[in-house]
Amino acid sequence: MTIQQQIEQLRKQINEHNYQYYVLDDPLITDSEYDRLFRQLQQLEKDHPEYLTPDSPTQRIGAAPLAEFSQVTHHIPMLSLDNAFDDTEFTAFYRRVLERLNTPEIEYACEPKLDGLAVSLHYEDGHLVRAATRGDGYIGEDITQNVRTIRAIPLQLRGNDYPSLLEIRGEVFMPKSSFNALNERASQAGEKLFANPRNAAAGSLRQLDSNITAERHLSFYCYGLGAVAWEPWPWQTHSETLAQLKQWGIRVNELSQVAKSFEECCQYYQSLMQQRASLSYDIDGVVFKVNSYALQQTLGFVSRAPRWAVAYKFPAEEEMTELLDVDFQVGRTGTLTPVARLKPVFVGGATVSNATLHNMDEIARKDIKIGDTVIVRRAGDVIPEVVSAILSRRPSDARDIVLPLKCPVCDSEVLRVAGEAAARCTGGLVCSAQRKEGIKHFAGRKAMDIEGLGDKLIEQLVQVNLLHTVADIYQLDVLKLASLDRMAMKSAQNVMDAIEKSKSTTLAKFIYALGIREVGEATAKSLAKELGSLEAVQQASEEALQEIADIGPIVAAHIHHFFQQPHNVDVVQALLKAGIHWPQEVKGEQSQSLQGKTYVLTGTLQRMTREQAKERLEAKGATVSGSVSKQTTAVIAGAAAGSKLTKAEQLGVAILGEEDLLKLLD
Ligand code: IVH
């Protein structure tokens, strides 16, 4: 094969893997295999620059910064959508459409409303030649260089049966993981944080230097067409068009669906609202589009929005309200967390009157004062937080938020360690707030799992001095419990039963329950697995602890320090004496019943995510691979499994279903 052929073959392979990954959501190879191909191509192109083409997958960065963006005219205007903010408004839209069309029922294409920025992509003879922002809908800005850095957007279409001109329209957005990483970097550099992924995406797309855009890891989904060279367009519906675009390598949202009735539309809306928090990107509603192009045409447009579509918005996750005051809450490890007391506001589907301000550094960075009008965010089950203050509305009597010098609960001194964001109460076990939080943690579901010993009960028990340390839990009796407010004999007995039951646990849960700073569930598991016994953990030196995966010097120091404290040793002794026990850990490994076996996961599993399945298989010693080969023990196929299933069939590799997987894991 000539060098040129090798280069072309590599490009084809990489483009195909991009397609598998972004469009089909079904990668055939691991990231490291992909990187290897990519580097191979980069090397060949470096050695033979004469074969470099602008379409090569390696050519996604490195354009020289622009002085300004040039303007682009949209020959077909980029319109906006009408919104429906509640059930009544959506029902009104639905009815209006049926009345205008004079029909009892029609089909809708349903899609998530992505929270990003609209872009137009021009493909000429299959090559991405121009990308533009929406601008005012008629004239946008040329952001081709920036868009070329987005890997989810193909530089070249697949196949060869596409129109000579194809204008794709869709949304560029920043995945939540990219957003968090970006803000993490900004925070470390002491820079201003982006308020949300949408703002971050906007800021990243309007960079004159495309190298910056490339670092921001944006993504893209297509939701429609602009100008095309084919007249008439051969497909009759929006959903058929999207399916065709997918064939050409354009990424279409996998949650897009067709609904055939009002009920189905409502179900889709509810289902997306449920999934919202767990998606890897922000959505702010559902877009419903009349599926048939003929009917779309009949309906037409009013001013700047189509009559055939609506954006049915989810309840807003951010609202404005007033910051009335700030209290400091003391956590399990003494951390003082500033908590905003707010004028109650309805946000993210609930009324919020408290929100976290995280720590003093965050308050300083966001420049928040008492009396400010602030933006509060409540997304899914995440604790509500104050995102920012609206400085233009700051009243003249706004007050600074001051860290107290003494713990608001136990009056001990408050310390701020240099280099740490948190301020801490130095009271330790003297501080009833720390004790309460420590006991809550100990009794929690992921720790000793004492059902019925909830926050309120623990607070009471600490208040009346029945609980001083976690070991005291095992000194409680029915009479003591029943003497408390709102505690009948029956419920007291239930709590006692749960306490008794909790004595049988695992070493990992016990270590986690102790509430050692920085020791979460995963670290506790590693400690149990690697060291095998509590004595070994207690006696391990900081050096020995650092040998364990994921334990660095800071965590090692916390663990070591914890077991050096006589009062901690006493509590641990008392717990063991009370009868807490666990099965012996097999040091260094679990039952490795799947040692030497290799599995490939594909499709959607019902009972767990692919990631969870992978973890559990690996915990049993199996290898989980991204690609099917003759060496694969079996392919585990969930719903809508694609090419990997076909490949397994071709190679005669065993195919298992979800039930088989559960049996393997059992
Ligand atoms: S269709 C004529 N579909 O929402 C219809 N828009 O409020 C044009 N958006 O500017 C838009 N997800 O940036 C459509 N699945 C989706 C969308 C979507 C997000 C954005 C888009 C548009 C804005 C309109």
What SS3 class is residue 90?
helix
Q: How far apart are CA 72 and CA 139, in angstroms?
A: 6
Residue type, 176: K
Q: Is the CB of 242 under 6 A from ligand 1?
A: no
Q: How far apart are CA 616 and CA 572, in angstroms?
A: 31
Condensed to tens digits (0 to 9), the pLDDT of residues 484-510 reads 988 899 999 999 999 999 999 999 999
Nearest C-alpha to atom 22 of ligand 1 is from which residue? 80
Distance 78 CA to ligand 1 centre (A): 9
Q: Is the dihedral of CA 10, 15, 21, 25 positive or negative?
A: negative
Contact in structure between 582 and 507 (CB atoms under 8 Å): yes
Checking if the pLDDT of 13 tops 60, the result is: yes
Q: Which H or E element spans position 267? A: helix 262-275
pLDDT in the model for residue 587: 61
Q: How far apart are CA 45 and CA 52, in angstroms?
A: 6
What SS3 class is residue 531?
helix
Q: Is the CB of 118 under 6 A from ligand 1?
A: yes
Checking if the pLDDT of 251 tops 80, the result is: yes
Q: Is the CB of 315 under 6 A from ligand 1?
A: no
Nearest C-alpha to atom 21 of ligand 1 is from which residue? 118
Nearest to 157 by CA among 133, 121, 118: 121
Condensed to tens digits (0 to 9), the pLDDT of residues 471-484 reads 999 999 999 999 99
pLDDT in the model for residue 651: 87
Q: Please name every residue paired with 413 in a beta bridge, in sequence order, or none if there are none.
A: 406
Q: Mean pLDDT, to the nearest integer, of 582-610?
A: 80
Find where tokens 């509305």 sit: 393
Nearest to 145 by CA among 124, 126, 131, 166: 131
Distance 452 CA to ligand 1 centre (A): 48
Nearest ligand 1 atom, CA 115: 19
Condensed to tens digits (0 to 9), the pLDDT of residues 400-427 reads 999 999 999 999 999 998 878 889 999 9
Q: How far apart are CA 56 and CA 347, in angstroms?
A: 46
Would you name the residues annotated as active-site residues? 113
Q: Is the CB of 81 under 6 A from ligand 1?
A: yes
Q: Mean pLDDT, to the nearest integer, of 106-135?
A: 97
Condensed to tens digits (0 to 9), the pLDDT of residues 563-577 reads 999 999 999 999 999
Q: How far apart are CA 183 and CA 201, in angstroms?
A: 12
Q: How far apart are CA 449 and CA 57, in angstroms?
A: 51
Q: How far apart are CA 274 and CA 390, in angstroms?
A: 31
- What radius of gyration, in Å, describes the C-alpha atoms of the chain? 29
Nearest C-alpha to atom 14 of ligand 1 is from which residue? 223
What SS3 class is residue 250?
coil
pLDDT in the model for residue 245: 97
Q: How far apart are CA 539 and CA 548, in angstroms?
A: 14
* DSSP assignment of 559-602: HHHHHH-HHHHHHHHHHHHTT-B-PPP-TT-S--TTTT-EEEEE
Instruction: Using alpha carbons, list the distances in angstroms from residue 134 to 66, 73, 122, 144, 285.
Output: 19, 10, 13, 13, 20
**Which tokens belong to 140?**
């946008």
Q: How far apart are CA 478 and CA 208, in angstroms?
A: 70
Instruction: Using alpha carbons, list the distances in angstroms from residue 350 to 316, 374, 388.
Output: 10, 17, 20
Banded model confidence at residue 174, pLDDT cuts 50, 70, 90: very high
Banded model confidence at residue 641, pLDDT cuts 50, 70, 90: confident
Checking if the pLDDT of 590 tops 70, the result is: no
Residue 648 class from Cβ within 10 Å (0-12 exposed, 13-18 middle, 19+ buried)?
buried
Distance 224 CA to ligand 1 centre (A): 9
Distance 309 CA to ligand 1 centre (A): 10
Q: Please name every residue paired with 290 in a beta bridge, in sequence order, or none if there are none.
A: 108
Contact in structure between 537 and 511 (CB atoms under 8 Å): yes
Checking if the pLDDT of 622 tops 90, the result is: no
Residue type, 175: P
Question: Which mutation among 223, 281, 282 tests ligand 1's pocket best, with the greatest number of atoms within 8 A of CB?
Answer: 223
Nearest C-alpha to atom 12 of ligand 1 is from which residue? 113
Nearest ligand 1 atom, CA 117: 13
Q: Is the CB of 223 under 6 A from ligand 1?
A: yes
Nearest C-alpha to atom 13 of ligand 1 is from which residue? 118
Helix 566-577 vs helix 553-564: crossing angle, to nearest 10? 70
Domains located in the chain, CATH noted: 3-59 (1.10.287.610), 83-313 (3.30.470.30), 319-393 (2.40.50.140), 432-577 (1.10.150.20), 598-665 (3.40.50.10190)
Q: How many CA atoms lie within 13 A of 418 on its CB side?
A: 0
Banded model confidence at residue 618, pLDDT cuts 50, 70, 90: confident
Checking if the pLDDT of 247 tops 80, the result is: yes
Banded model confidence at residue 586, pLDDT cuts 50, 70, 90: low
Nearest C-alpha to atom 1 of ligand 1 is from which residue? 223
More confident residue, 623 or 106: 106
Distance 118 CA to ligand 1 centre (A): 7
Helix (H) and strand (E) counts for the chain? 24, 24
Q: What is the mean pLDDT of the chain?
A: 92
Distance 80 CA to ligand 1 centre (A): 6
Q: Mean pLDDT, to the nearest integer, of 4-29?
A: 93
Checking if the pLDDT of 585 tops 80, the result is: no
User: Could you tell me where the DSSP H helices lie in 24-75?
Assistant: 31-47
pLDDT in the model for residue 642: 77
Condensed to tens digits (0 to 9), the pLDDT of residues 292-342 reads 999 999 999 988 899 999 999 998 889 999 999 999 999 999 999 999 999
Q: How far apart are CA 583 and CA 4, in angstroms?
A: 62
User: Could you tell me where the DSSP H helices lie in 446-585?
Assistant: 455-463, 478-482, 489-502, 507-513, 521-531, 534-539, 542-546, 553-564, 566-577
Condensed to tens digits (0 to 9), the pLDDT of residues 345-396 reads 999 878 999 999 999 999 998 999 999 999 999 977 789 999 999 999 999 9
